[in-house]
């Protein structure tokens, strides 16, 4: 069953009892286990409360260095590969950039996929995503027993072993280094879960893994190494593929709409002047108002997560006293909801100004759900927005982007992530 009325969507997503994810999320569980994305009930509630402090602004601000460094690597690689106005698919480049960012922020590991895409971990991530999407679109492979007997199922297991072994190794190594640091009193971590405050002192920047290991020291959290691996793997999956999708669509749409891109260039030039390499600061991020409108409009047209699903473990009463009985899987098609012409005039057009405060003040808040909403909204949405603004700022400070194909000619795949079937071809010219 599918809902499209924003008022009904609000009732579903804000329900304190209908928080269990739908059947479709089971395709991800062999990789992510029962982490924050896939767990439900008391386990999810406890895990959400425990992890929320990791996304405190003080922590995210420290990640700006990583965002900038990896974005600058992307800019240089594009300079090398997009010579003489050649048209190429931007998606692979951006996806490797976001993988490097999440690898360093989640695990403090330099995966270096931008410069070396043939490492076992990078290849395993790519293969696992490909096979998972392949399975999700083929009902005959939905039963895990059947899937496990196929060549793709066996290849999937090989990829998962590489991914799980790598994360487990990183956890063990980080525990050893934390112990050594504790003995040397080189770093101090103080966590206050009740007040959602996390501080750190010392020279080493914290990764999400450090915060999970610190939470493990509290016996009330009942956090095993396997639990930590599930959460780190969840960060790695959610933090690279969905963010890459949003970035790719934003770049392409600005390449299709030169008048909007000109406004982005004007805004960035006002902030940075002629400097093409200075790191983006938190002050800069706050001034990138038009760029943020562009990201939001791209997410309206092409939400990274194309659908949300909930399993009803109790009856849900909608408007007009319509009751959906317990036991039903309810789906929200974000792309369809975002293109409702009664809410968004000219729904197919790219109009960033839709998200100016005066233009969305009277819009139902649940008519726009790129990060879901309610108690199970995306915990990393601030992280994602900061990352995207840094990457896009560095890209558009240095290049003018031109779409090499018409938007209407791009075949869109509605899978676990909204992606173009054949990539997004663009041309770059230096500014």
> 3-state secondary structure string, the chain?
CECCCHHHHHHHHCCCCCCEECHHHHHCHHHHCCCCCCCCHHHHHHHHHHHHHHHCHHHHHHCHHHHHHHHHHHHHHHHHHCHHHCCEECHHHHHHHHHHHHHHHHHCCCCCCCCCCCCHHHHHHHHHHHHHHHHHCCHHHCCHHHHHHCHHHHHHHHHHHHHHHHHHHHHHHHHHHHHHHHHHCCCEEEEECCCCEEEEECCCCCCHHHHHHHHHCCHHHCCCHHHHHHHHHHHHHHHHHHHHHHHHHHHHHHHHCHHHHHHHHHHHHHHHCCCCCCCCCHHHHHHCHHHHHHHHHHHHHCCCCCEEEEECCCCEECHHHCEECCCCEEEEEHHHHHCCCCCCCCCCCCCHHHHCHHHHCCCCHHHCCECECHHHCCCCHHHHHHHHHHHHHHHHHHEEEEECCCHHHCCEEECCCEEECCCCEEEEEEC
Instruction: Output the pLDDT for position 346.
Output: 98
Residue 158 tokens read as 């090989």
Instruction: Output the pLDDT for position 206.
Output: 78
Instruction: Output the pLDDT for position 204.
Output: 59
Instruction: Output the pLDDT for position 76.
Output: 97
CB 94 within 8 A of CB 74: yes
Instruction: Output the pLDDT for position 408.
Output: 96
**How far is residue 313's CA from residue 224's CA, in Å, rounded to a whole number?**
28
**How far is residue 88's CA from residue 54's CA, in Å, rounded to a whole number?**
37
| Cα Rg, the chain, nearest whole Å | 22
Domain boundaries, the chain: 6-430
CATH number of 6-430: 1.10.630.10
pTM confidence score: 0.92
- Each residue's pLDDT, cut to its tens digit, for the chain (431 residues) gives 899 999 999 999 998 877 888 777 888 899 999 999 989 888 899 999 999 988 888 889 999 999 999 999 999 999 999 987 889 999 999 999 999 999 999 999 999 999 998 889 989 998 998 898 889 889 999 999 999 999 999 999 999 999 999 999 999 999 888 888 776 764 455 555 443 444 443 445 678 999 999 999 888 888 999 999 999 999 999 899 999 999 999 999 999 999 999 999 999 999 999 999 999 999 999 999 999 999 999 999 999 999 898 999 899 999 888 999 999 999 999 999 999 999 999 999 999 999 999 999 999 999 999 999 999 999 999 999 999 999 999 999 999 999 999 999 999 998 889 999 999 999 999 99
């Amino acid at each position: 069953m599918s809902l499209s009325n924003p008022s009904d969507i609000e009732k579903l997503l804000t329900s304190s009892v209908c928080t269990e994810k739908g059947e479709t999320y089971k395709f991800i569980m062999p990789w992510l286990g029962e982490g924050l994305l896939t767990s439900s009930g008391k386990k999810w509630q406890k895990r959400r409360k425990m992890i929320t402090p990791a996304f405190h602004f003080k922590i995210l601000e420290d990640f700006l260095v990583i965002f900038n460094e990896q974005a600058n690597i992307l800019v240089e690689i594009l300079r090398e590969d997009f010579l003489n106005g050649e048209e190429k698919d931007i998606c692979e480049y951006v996806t490797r950039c976001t993988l490097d960012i999440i690898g360093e922020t989640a695990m403090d590991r330099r995966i270096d996929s931008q410069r070396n895409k043939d490492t076992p971990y990078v290849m395993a991530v790519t293969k696992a995503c490909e096979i998972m999407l392949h399975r999700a679109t083929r009902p005959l492979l939905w039963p895990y027993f059947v899937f496990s007997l196929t060549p793709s199922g066996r290849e999937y297991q090989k990829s998962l072993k590489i991914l799980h072994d790598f994360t487990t190794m990183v956890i063990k190594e980080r525990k050893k280094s934390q112990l050594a640091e504790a003995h040397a009193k080189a770093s101090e971590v103080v966590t206050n879960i009740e007040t959602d405050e996390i501080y750190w002192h010392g020279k080493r920047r914290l990764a999400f893994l450090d915060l999970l290991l610190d939470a493990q020291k509290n016996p009330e959290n009942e956090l095993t190494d396997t639990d930590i691996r599930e959460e780190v793997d969840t960060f790695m999956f959610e933090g690279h593929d969905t963010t890459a999708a949003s970035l790719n669509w934003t770049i392409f749409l600005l390449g299709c709409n030169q008048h909007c891109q000109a406004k982005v260039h004007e805004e960035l030039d006002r902030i940075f002047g002629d400097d093409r390499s200075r790191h983006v600061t938190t002050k800069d991020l706050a001034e990138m108002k038009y760029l943020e409108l562009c990201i939001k409009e791209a997410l309206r047209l092409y939400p990274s997560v194309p659908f949300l699903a909930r399993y009803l473990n109790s009856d849900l009463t909608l408007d007009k006293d319509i009751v959906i009985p317990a036991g039903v899987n309810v789906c929200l098609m974000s792309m369809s909801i975002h293109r409702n012409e009664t809410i968004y005039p000219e729904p197919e057009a790219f109009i960033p100004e839709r998200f100016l405060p005066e233009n969305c003040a009277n819009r139902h808040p649940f008519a726009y759900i790129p990060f879901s909403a309610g108690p199970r909204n995306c915990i990393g949405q601030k992280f994602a927005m900061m990352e995207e603004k840094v990457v896009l700022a560095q890209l558009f400070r240095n290049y003018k982007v031109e779409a090499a194909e018409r938007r209407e000619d791009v075949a869109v795949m509605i899978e676990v992530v909204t992606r173009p079937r054949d990539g997004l071809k663009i041309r770059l010219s230096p500014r």
